[in-house]
Each structure stands twice: as structure tokens, then as C-alpha cells.
Amino acid sequence: MDAIRPSALHGIRVLDFTQAQQGPFATLLLADMGADVIKVEPPGGEMGRANGLGPDGFSSYFEGHNRGKRSLTLDLKKPEAVEVVRRLVPSIDVVVENFRPGAMERMGLGYEDLKPLRADLIYASASAWGRSGPWAERGGYDHVAQALSGVMYEQGTGPGGEPHALIGGFADQIGAMLLAFGIATALVVRERDGIGQHIDGSLIGGMVAMQSKQIVEYLRTGKQSGFQSRRAATYTNYECADGRHVAIAANTEAMWERLCDALGAPELKRDERFTDPFGRARHKDALVVELERRFRARPMGDWLGPLTEHDVPHAPVLDYAGMSEHPQFWANGYLQEIDTPNLGKMRVPGPPIRMSETPPRIQGGGPPLGMHTEEILLAAGYSWDEIARLNESGATRTA
């Protein structure tokens, strides 16, 4: 049996100053890839620890964004704590922060402050609005970033209509994935060219990227359509006899014909209104009526077999309960069960990609506050006497 290889970012050390969601999820992705992520938290812990905190100490918000990290408590208002950071930096590959632009600089911990300590340091900053422009220094969160990005009208009824937000945290999660992508890219550049750099990601930058097709269409045509419950009759979902829904994606001529066969409705292929894609688009409402009638004739489970047999792209529309029991997610490791020292067994989302030679692995649950402070300081060369003095000064206090 081949030896188990370490994950792709094994040996990469990350000093993580992020809080809430956008930054912490980016560094979670790095931890899954094998990086040693040291989460720097203020006394009392970062704000995410208290979000939805239960009596057993479980916070889905914190666990969902901070698994596999080590926790170091530092009161950065104390000069001794700032000095700890500076002492750590020469052994750190990546610094990540998501404060308002200028906050780290005011503490003497900005990119230009730390670069002399390690010339090839990668320093990643995440914000709501980006680091340039008239809004750069404003505070912001997911919901208001969605608002500015145009997505609320695209998800709603269009310009002038009713806006609707995407799922909470959507801008945070997209921004986090792109920030992790930027960090990974910078690590490749450093390996190739021997240089570090400052990376800048933002919530609205991620939202623009996420809406690439829609924004390109608007910039070309000046039109924004807004959400349509059925953009096409054969690329949508239908209610079945038991009130459950099935989604279909029959977007080619061959798939259309196979859909008709799966529904036991070959006559639809011969209907003059629906014989080509243009006709099906022109008579979309009439085709929806025909398909609705047929799907409502049988419960959802009865449709899954015929749709599979005729190779029509489809899926049952699941809630989280159904999704969490579906074998496809477990087979690919997108859902996993882990053991944690403080919360016991937990089912959690797994790494979203797989790698054949350097597989990502969940490194554990979210760390108890300050759990690794002494361990990290000892590895950085601090003596027990120095650690005691830091505790006495309040620089490393947890409360």
C-alpha cells in the first residue's frame, strides 16, 4: 500500500487575522489543503464564536468557517502582542486579514510593515468594497455588498421591481473562494519567481465575478432581465403528484426528444409548436402547461426511473434533510463525519475538490479559544518565562 501523501499545502504556515465569514472561510479552505493556519483572536474570541452559540458550546457559524485551525489569543492593543506577531512573521508564509483597509497599518502590521521581516511574504487582504475608490474605508457585510452588486434585482423582479437577496453569506463565500484562489496563485508565483506580494480581494469583486454572464449581457445590451421562475420550459422544475418537485435540464434537441419519451408523451415531439428550439421558446407558456400536466400525474419517485433510463439530466429538488442523506455527497467527500475533542462527532461539509496525489483533508473542528497559544509561542522560540510575562501583561489573555 502506498504511503499517504501530505495534502497540497503541507508546510505552508498561515497567520490568520480574519473574523466573521469571508476571511475565515478562505483560510478554512487553505487548512483543508494542509496549511497550518494559526487563527489570531482577540480576548474573548472573534465575533463569529458568539453567532448562534448553543449551551453545548456549538456555533454552526464558527464551526462552518474555522475548522482545522489553531487558536492564538493576542490583544493587539498591547505592544507586546504586536511584537509577538512580528516575531512570528519570519516563519510565516501567508498573512490574511479582513479588517477595514488601514486597520492593520494603524497597528503597524500592514504589508509594508511586515515585508522587511520576510521579503517573500504573501499578504492577503479582504474587504467589502476593495482598497481603492470612494467607498474603500467604509464598513460592509454580505447583505449590503449583494445590494451594491446588482444581484438583488437580478434575483428579484428586475430593475424597478422587488429586490431579493441570495442566501445569506453568498457574497462572503464567493469572496472567500476567490481570496483562497489568489493566495494559492501567489504561492505558485513565489515558488517560480521567489517573490511575495499583497493580494486584495473584496465582496463586490466576488459578486461581479459570480455574475459574469449577466453583467456582460447588460454591458453589451443595456438590459437586465431579473429573475424568471422559468427561463425555459425544459430547464426548470415541476411539481409532481405528491407535492415534491423534480428539476430537468433538457437543453438540446436530443434531450428534448428523450424527455418526451421519458414522460410517455411522444406526441409532443410532433406538435408543430415544439418541433424546434425556437418554437419551444416562442411557445414556452404553452409547453409549461403541457409539462406541468404530465408531471403532476405521478409522484416524484415515479419519474426518477424513466428520466434516468432515457438519460435526461434531472434531479429531485431536495431540502437539506434530503441532501444530507443523498449518497452522492458522501461518496465524493463533500459531506463527512469528523471527531472533535470538545463537540464529539459532527457531520460537516468536506473539501469541495479532490486531488489524486495530495488529497485535501479536514484537519479537525474549530479550535477552542486560545488552545494553541503556548504551543505556538514555544515553537517560535519563546521561553516559559517570556510566556508568563506575556500572560501577566494581558497580551495573550483569553478573557
- Amino acid 288 reads V
| Average pLDDT value for residue range 307-326 | 98
pLDDT digits (tens, 9 = 90+) for 349-387: 999 999 999 999 999 999 999 999 999 999 999 999 999
Looking at residue 146, its pLDDT comes to 98
With a cut of 70, say whether residue 264 has pLDDT above it.
yes
With a cut of 70, say whether residue 2 has pLDDT above it.
no
pTM reported for the whole predicted model: 0.94
Check if 113 is active-site.
no
CA 207, 169, 68, 51 dihedral sign is: positive
Query: Nearest Cα to 259, choosing from 285, 232, 278?
Result: 232
Please tell me the distance from the alpha carbon of residue 316 to that of residue 304, in angstroms, as a whole number: 8
With a cut of 90, say whether residue 14 has pLDDT above it.
yes
Looking at residue 368, its pLDDT comes to 96
With a cut of 90, say whether residue 231 has pLDDT above it.
no
Looking at residue 163, its pLDDT comes to 96
| Average pLDDT value for residue range 187-208 | 98
- Residue 154 pLDDT class (50, 70, 90 cuts): very high
Please state, for a pLDDT cut of 70, what percent of the chain lies above it: 99
Looking at residue 1, its pLDDT comes to 40
Task: Count how many residues are written for the chain.
Answer: 399
Please tell me the distance from the alpha carbon of residue 249 to that of residue 232, in angstroms, as a whole number: 9
| Average pLDDT value for residue range 303-311 | 98
Taking CA atoms, 347 is separated from 197, 285, 335, 338, in Å, by 37, 43, 7, 6
With a cut of 90, say whether residue 229 has pLDDT above it.
no
Residues 6+ apart with CB under 8 A from 97: 17, 18, 23, 103, 104, 109, 124, 125, 126
Please tell me the distance from the alpha carbon of residue 58 to that of residue 18, in angstroms, as a whole number: 20
Among residues 172, 200, 261, 385, the one annotated as catalytic is: 172
Average pLDDT, the chain: 96
Phi-psi region of 367 (alpha: psi -120 to 50; beta: other; left: phi over 0): beta
Please state, for a pLDDT cut of 90, what percent of the chain lies above it: 96
Strand order in the sheet with 245-249: 235-239, 245-249, 314-316
Do 190 and 120 touch, CB atoms closer than 8 A? yes
Compute the radius of gyration of the chain from its Cα atoms: 26
| Average pLDDT value for residue range 226-249 | 94
With a cut of 80, say whether residue 3 has pLDDT above it.
no
* Coil/strand/helix, residue 124: strand
Residue 3 is given by DSSP the state P
| Average pLDDT value for residue range 303-331 | 98
